Structure 1
Amino acid sequence: MESSGAVVSGARSKEDIALDLLKFVAGSTGFGRAAVPSTGFSGTAAPKPEEQINQLLDLYSRCLNVVDGKGVKG
């Protein structure tokens, strides 16, 4: 029988768990979605793509801190 060289482990890395947490939080809160245009007044302008990327990276680092047990700074 040939071996593919891949190591299968039951343990997941902290980075994978933090990424899943990010996906859960972003999906359930609508974080990172573009603003939907509507009639009337709008609260804020849609964030630029660079701002969205920075916000997602910040959220990922916060998720990673939670997984590491460091908690979240205010």
Structure 2
Amino acid sequence: MEEKSKTPETQSGKGGDEIALDLMKFIATATGYGKGSQAVGFTGKGARTPEEHAEALLELFERCRTVVKKES
């Protein structure tokens, strides 16, 4: 019987994209990434639109995927 090598994916039961998604969720939740600042008073920049927020999260996910692929 042939032994399969145990990669991080097979040990945890998660694929690289799932790990990247978990990492992205953690970063976004812990830092408020993509939400923009919640300043009171006059500011030069308005709040982010939902499209801008989604784009920021997609960029973060791609960065997380790149890191996870490098590590495996």
TM-score (norm: length of structure 1): 0.67
1:57 pairs with 2:64 = no
Q: Tell me, in whole angstroms, the C-alpha distance in 1 between the residues paired with 2:66 and 2:16.
A: 10
Q: Residue 13 of structure 2 is aligned with which of 11, 14, 20?
A: 11
Structure whose residues are more often helix by fraction = 2
Structure 1, gaps ≥5 residues long:
1-8
Partner of residue 24, structure 2: 22
Instruction: Report how far residue 11 of structure 1 moved.
Output: 1.9
Aligned residues: 61
Which structure 2 segments of 5+ residues have no match?
1-10
Match of 1:6 in 2: none
Q: Percent identity?
A: 41
Aligned with 2:33: secondary structure?
Answer: coil
Question: Which residue does 2:45 correspond to in 1?
Answer: 44
TM superposition shift of 1:35: 4.3
Shift of 1:54: 0.8
Shift in CA distance, 17/10, structure 1 to aligned 2, threshold 3 Å: closer
1:33, distance to aligned residue in structure 2 (A) = 3.0
C-alpha RMSD over aligned residues = 2.2
Paired letter, 2:42: F
User: Does the residue aligned with 1:24 lie in a helix, a strand or coil?
Assistant: helix
CA shift, 1:42, in A, is: 2.8
